C-alpha cells in the first residue's frame, strides 16, 4: 500500500498517554491515518526566532508526526492574517469582517513555499499527498514546482462561497489557479462544489466535463463532494468510558429534572451563537411556562484569540448571556450556563448523552461534526433531538434532524418547542435514521473514498497524458 502523507496547518501528535489530541480535524486525521502507516506534516504551533531547517519527528501508532516551527511574522501574516482574517471570514460570508492586506497574502505565499521546501525531501515516489484546508491552497503548486509528480489531493473543510464573494478577493484568480495543480479537490457537499464550479465556468473561462472533471488554466482537476464523518465506532466506545459515565451522571444530577438544551462550539462568529441566544430569549418570552423547566448549556471554547473579531465576540457573548440571565433568572434557576472551559472528549460524550436537545445552528459551516457526535452519543431508548441549521454542510445528509433557519429567531424557537414536545417514538425513529448515516458515512469511509478518487484520478490522468503523447507521436 502507498504511504499516505497528510499535510495540514497544525499537526496534533498524540498526547503523553498515546491519546490523540482534541479537535475535529485532529480526531478525523488521526483516525484516517491509522491504517496507512503514513506521515502527518505541518506546523508545530510554536514559533522560532529564525528558520534553521529543523524538523521534529515523532512516531506513534504507526504514524510519523513531522512538525516545523514558524517565525513570528509568518504566524501573524499567514495564520492570523490571510487564513483567519481574510479567507475564513470571506468563505463564511462575513465580508464585513474580511481584511484584505497585501502583507497577509505575501506571508501566505511565503509559508506555503516554506512548507514545500521542508516537505519535498521527505516524499518518496508512490506516496499519496493529501493537503488539508484553506491555509494550504498554494502548496500543491509549490510542490509541483519542486518537481513532485505524486498523486496530490486537496480537501476544503470550510464552505466554498458564492462567486460574487470570491471576486472581492484581490488575486482571486491566482488562488483558484493554484488549486488546479492538484489531481482532486474535495468539498463536503455538492453545494460547495457547485459554487466552485460556478466560479470556474463564469470567471475562469473553464469547462465542466461529462466525467465530473473540470478544465481551466490549461489544467484538469476532479472537483468532488466527500462528506466528512466522525470516528463513529471510537465515539460509541468512548461513551462507555469511566470519564464519560462520570460526566453523564454529574449532568443528570445537576439537571435536577429539567430538560437541557446544549450548544457546543468553537467560539466563532460562523457558529451563530449570538443568534442562538437571542432565539432562546425569544422562546423564554413567548413561552414563559417553559422557564424553570429548561436551561441552555452553551459550551464555547476559545480559539484564535489573537484575532480582534474573536475578542469582540467573547465580550459580546458574555454580555448577552449575562443580560439574559439577569433578566430571566430566579433565585434557584439560571436560564443559560455559559461555559468557556475546554472539556476532554470523554467528558464531552457524557454531556452530549445527557442533553435533551442539541442546538447546532451555524450561519455557515463546512460540515459540523458536533451534530454527528451528538447523535452518536445518544441512548437508543431515549434519544435527544437534533436541531440543525440549513446552512451547515451536515444538513445535506442529516435530513431527520429538525432543520432550521438560524437567522430566524421564530423558526429556531418553534423548533425548540417542537423538540421538547416530541413523542419518544418519533425521537427514536429520527435518531435511528440519523445514526445509520453517522455509522455508514464515518471518517474511514470519507478517507477511503477520497484516496480511491485520488488514485484513480492520478492514474487516469497519467494514462490520458500518455495517450495524447502517443497520438502526437512524441512518446
Ligand atoms: C472545521 C469546519 C468541519 C468543541 N468543544 C470541545 C471540543 N470540541 C470539538 C467538537 C468537534 C470539533 O471541536 C468542532 O468541529 P466542527 O466540525 O463542529 O467545527 P470546526 O472546528 O469549525 O471544524 C467544520 C470540520 O472542520 C471538519 O471538516 O465540520 O465545518 O469549520 O469535534 O467535539 N472538543 C473537546 N472539548 C471541547 O470543549 N475535546
Give the domain CATH number at 374: 3.40.50.2000
- Asked whether residue 72 falls in the same domain as residue 32, the answer is yes
Locate cell 435527544: which residue? 384
For the CA of 228, the closest atom of ligand 1 is 28
Each residue of 343-401: pLDDT tens digit?
Answer: 999 999 999 999 999 999 999 999 999 999 999 999 999 999 999 999 999 999 999 99
- Asked whether residue 194 falls in the same domain as residue 74, the answer is yes
What separation in angstroms does the CA of 83 have from each of 74, 90, 277, 382, 411?
Answer: 11, 10, 28, 42, 33
- Asked whether residue 451 falls in the same domain as residue 312, the answer is no
- Asked whether residue 281 falls in the same domain as residue 194, the answer is no
DSSP 330: B
392 lines ligand 1 (CB under 6 A): no
- Asked whether residue 213 falls in the same domain as residue 243, the answer is no
Please, where are the H alpha helices in 256-344? 273-286, 308-328
Q: Identify which of 20, 158, 358, 369 to mutate to test ligand 1's pocket (most ligand atoms within 8 A of the CB).
A: 369
> Taking each helix axis from N to C terminus, what angle separates 443-472 and 24-33, rounded to the nearest 10 degrees?
70
Output the pLDDT for position 464.
Answer: 63
Output the pLDDT for position 475.
Answer: 42
Cα 239 off chain centre by: 22
- Asked whether residue 165 falls in the same domain as residue 269, the answer is no
Q: Which domain holds residue 420?
A: 232-440
- Asked whether residue 377 falls in the same domain as residue 447, the answer is no
DSSP 162: P
Which is catalytic among the residues 69, 183, 365, 442? Answer: 365
- Asked whether residue 250 falls in the same domain as residue 194, the answer is no
Our count of domains for the chain comes to: 2
- Asked whether residue 431 falls in the same domain as residue 459, the answer is no
Q: What residues in the chain have per-residue pLDDT under 50?
A: 17-18, 20, 475
- Asked whether residue 306 falls in the same domain as residue 206, the answer is no
Whether the CB-CB separation of 317 and 311 falls below 8 Å is answered with no
128 lines ligand 1 (CB under 6 A): no
- Asked whether residue 289 falls in the same domain as residue 329, the answer is yes
User: Residues near 424 by Cβ (< 8 Å), separated by ≥ 6?
Assistant: 382
Paired sense of beta strands 402-404 and 385-389, if any:
parallel
> What whole-number distance in Å separates Cα of residue 243 and Cα of residue 246?
5
For the CA of 342, the closest atom of ligand 1 is 38
Each residue of 400-440: pLDDT tens digit?
Answer: 999 999 999 999 999 999 999 999 999 999 999 999 999 99
Locate cell 502523507: which residue? 5
Handedness of CA 363, 365, 367, 369 (dihedral sign): negative
Amino acid at each position: 500500500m502507498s504511504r499516505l502523507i497528510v499535510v495540514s496547518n497544525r499537526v496534533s501528535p498524540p498526547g503523553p498517554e498515546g491519546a490523540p489530541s482534541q479537535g475535529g480535524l485532529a480526531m478525523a486525521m488521526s483516525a484516517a491515518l491509522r491504517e496507512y502507516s503514513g506521515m502527518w506534516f505541518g506546523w508545530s504551533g510554536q514559533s522560532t526566532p529564525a528558520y534553521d531547517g529543523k524538523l521534529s519527528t515523532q512516531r506513534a501508532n504507526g504514524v510519523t508526526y513531522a512538525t516545523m516551527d514558524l517565525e513570528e511574522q509568518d504566524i501573524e501574516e499567514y495564520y492570523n492574517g490571510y487564513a483567519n482574517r481574510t479567507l475564513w471570514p470571506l468563505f463564511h460570508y462575513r465580508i464585513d469582517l474580511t481584511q484584505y492586506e497585501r502583507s497577509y497574502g505575501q506571508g501566505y505565499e511565503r509559508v506555503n513555499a516554506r512548507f514545500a521546501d521542508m516537505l519535498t525531501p521527505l516524499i518518496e515516489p508512490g506516496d499519496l499527498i493529501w493537503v488539508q484546508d484553506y491555509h494550504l491552497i498554494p502548496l500543491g503548486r509549490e510542490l509541483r514546482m519542486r518537481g513532485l509528480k505524486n498523486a496530490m489531493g486537496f480537501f476544503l473543510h470550510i464552505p466554498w462561497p458564492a462567486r460574487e464573494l470570491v471576486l472581492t478577493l484581490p488575486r482571486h484568480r491566482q488562488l483558484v489557479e493554484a488549486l488546479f495543480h492538484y489531481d482532486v479537490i474535495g468539498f463536503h457537499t455538492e453545494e460547495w462544489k457547485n459554487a466552485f464550479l460556478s466560479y470556474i465556468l463564469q470567471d475562469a473561462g473553464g469547462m465542466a466535463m461529462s466525467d465530473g472533471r473540470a478544465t481551466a488554466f490549461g489544467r484538469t482537476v476532479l472537483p468532488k463532494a466527500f462528506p466528512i464523518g466522525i470516528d463513529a465506532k471510537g465515539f460509541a466506545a468512548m461513551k462507555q468510558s469511566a470519564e464519560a459515565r462520570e460526566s453523564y451522571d454529574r449532568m443528570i444530577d445537576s439537571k435536577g429534572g429539567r430538560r437541557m438544551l446544549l450548544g457546543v462550539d468553537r467560539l466563532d462568529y460562523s457558529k451563530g451563537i449570538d443568534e442562538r441566544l437571542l432565539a432562546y430569549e425569544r422562546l423564554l418570552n413567548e413561552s414563559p411556562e417553559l422557564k424553570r423547566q429548561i436551561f441552555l448549556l452553551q459550551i464555547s471554547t476559545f480559539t484564535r484569540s489573537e484575532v480582534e473579531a474573536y475578542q469582540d465576540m467573547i465580550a459580546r457573548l458574555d454580555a448577552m448571556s449575562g443580560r439574559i440571565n439577569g433578566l430571566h433568572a430566579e433565585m434557584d434557576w439560571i436560564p443559560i450556563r455559559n461555559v468557556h472551559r475546554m472539556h476532554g472528549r470523554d467528558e464531552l460524550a457524557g454531556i452530549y448523552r445527557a442533553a435533551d436537545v442539541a442546538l447546532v445552528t451555524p450561519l455557515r459551516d463546512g460540515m459540523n461534526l458536533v451534530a454527528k457526535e451528538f447523535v452518536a452519543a445518544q441512548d437508543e431508548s431515549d434519544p435527544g433531538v437534533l436541531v440543525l441549521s440549513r446552512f451547515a454542510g451536515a444538513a445535506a445528509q442529516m435530513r431527520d434532524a429538525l432543520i432550521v433557519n438560524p437567522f430566524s429567531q421564530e423558526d429556531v424557537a418553534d423548533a425548540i418547542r417542537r423538540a421538547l414536545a416530541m413523542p419518544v417514538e418519533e425521537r427514536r425513529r429520527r435518531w435511528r435514521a440519523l445514526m445509520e448515516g453517522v455509522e455508514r458515512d464515518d471518517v474511514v469511509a470519507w478517507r477511503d473514498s477520497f484516496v480511491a478518487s485520488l488514485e484513480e484520478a492520478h492514474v487516469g490522468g497519467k494514462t490520458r497524458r500518455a495517450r495524447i503523447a502517443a497520438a502526437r507521436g512524441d512518446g
